[in-house]
């Protein structure tokens, strides 16, 4: 089995339809072996990941092994169970799942020491059901199966260890407190270290390039005290701000352990009088949740 290549952000949905294989049937060509059996990865609620299921066909026949049979990857332990990490086929690019217990169809391929496989997505629901909890690891078993009259191939069984965790960030540093004359503006930055197990994405789901101000999975600097308040130092079209309560990440991606920077312009609103103002900020992952409140703030003197 190939190693996991990259993370992407997305939302999972609930299962609605299940497929059931025929009872176990003797298959003389049960010689399909997984190439590696253990992928480990971590997901934050609302995230999904692309992974792989690779096989070695040591038999003499091509899958599917019978007339009308459909070769698929199915859930196992127990077989035909509904996966908690299922993604609906209606989710466009993520439509590799056939149902909540069938991950993907397998195309006919070669026999006799021939490698083949499929890639698919697994997702952590944005709202965790009662059988899932943060900080725990879940083992997801899969197995090769011939639907529509075929059987399961026990030699093909593999598993994935999925750990659920939140996104985390730690304040590192920022520009000095500014003094801004009315009618002027000042640029500043705030930096955070990604202390969580998964990366931060500026544009969120599938490298989002649309016009939404809140793309799912995007890590932003949000206004705080109270959360989501409209800042009186935001101005349309100024550096960093995507709305009056969100500042975007400068980097397109920040890996776990790396530092992300938020650069933005502070522009006092015309209604503000001379005095001292305190702006609070907090990291947020859109559609997933707020990160730790470090009390990050900027004291701004307006003259």
Q: What is the pLDDT of residues 200-239, one digit of tens each?
A: 989 875 444 455 667 778 899 999 999 999 999 999 999 9
Q: Where among 164, 193, 224 does a domain terminate?
A: 164
pLDDT tens digits along 55-99: 777 665 555 455 567 788 899 999 999 999 988 766 655 556 888
Whether residues 175 and 123 fall in one domain: no
Question: What pLDDT score was predicted for residue 281?
Answer: 98
Average pLDDT over residues 134-149: 87
Question: What pLDDT score was predicted for residue 11?
Answer: 30
Question: What pLDDT score was predicted for residue 15?
Answer: 34
Whether residues 136 and 219 fall in one domain: no
Whether residues 28 and 143 fall in one domain: yes
Q: Kindly report the CATH number assigned to the domain that includes residue 123.
A: 2.60.40.10
Residue 182: which pLDDT band, with cuts at 50, 70 and 90? Answer: very high
Whether residues 139 and 210 fall in one domain: no
Evaluate whether residue 53 is within a structural domain: yes
**Backbone phi, psi, residue 213, to 5°:** -80, -15
Whether residues 137 and 182 fall in one domain: no
Question: What pLDDT score was predicted for residue 29?
Answer: 45
Whether residues 57 and 184 fall in one domain: no
Q: Where among 97, 129, 164 does a domain terminate?
A: 164
Containing domain of residue 284, as a range?
Answer: 169-302
The model carries a pTM of 0.68
Evaluate whether residue 106 is within a structural domain: yes
Q: How many domains does the chain have?
A: 2
Whether residues 129 and 183 fall in one domain: no
């Amino acid at each position: 089995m190939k190693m996991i290549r990259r993370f992407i952000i997305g939302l999972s949905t609930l299962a609605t339809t299940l497929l059931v294989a025929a009872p176990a049937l003797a298959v003389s060509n049960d010689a399909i072996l997984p190439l590696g059996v253990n992928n480990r990865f971590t997901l934050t609620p609302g995230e999904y990941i692309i992974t792989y299921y690779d096989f070695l066909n040591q038999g003499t026949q091509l899958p599917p092994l019978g007339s009308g049979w459909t070769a698929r990857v199915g859930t196992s332990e127990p077989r035909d169970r509904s996966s908690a990490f299922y993604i609906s086929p209606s989710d466009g690019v993520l439509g590799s799942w056939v149902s909540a217990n069938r991950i993907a169809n397998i195309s006919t391929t070669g026999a006799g020491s021939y490698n083949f496989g499929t890639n698919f997505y697994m997702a952590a629901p944005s709202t965790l059901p009662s059988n899932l909890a943060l900080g725990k690891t879940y083992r997801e078993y899969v197995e090769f199966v011939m639907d529509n009259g075929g059987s399961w191939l026990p030699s093909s069984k593999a598993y994935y260890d999925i750990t659920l965790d939140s996104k985390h960030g730690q304040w590192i540093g920022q520009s000095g407190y500014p003094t801004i004359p009315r009618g002027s503006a000042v640029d500043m930055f705030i930096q955070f270290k990604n202390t969580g197990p998964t990366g931060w994405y500026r544009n969120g789901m599938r490298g989002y390039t649309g016009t939404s101000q809140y793309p799912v999975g995007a890590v932003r600097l949000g206004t705080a005290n109270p959360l989501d308040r409209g800042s009186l130092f935001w101005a349309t079209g100024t550096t960093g701000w995507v709305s009056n309560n969100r500042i975007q990440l400068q980097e397109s991606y920040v890996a776990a352990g790396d530092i992300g920077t938020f650069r933005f312009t502070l522009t006092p609103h015309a209604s503000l009088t001379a005095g001292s103002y305190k702006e609070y900020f907090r990291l947020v992952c859109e559609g997933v949740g707020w990160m730790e409140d470090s009390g990050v703030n900027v004291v701004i003197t307006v003259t």
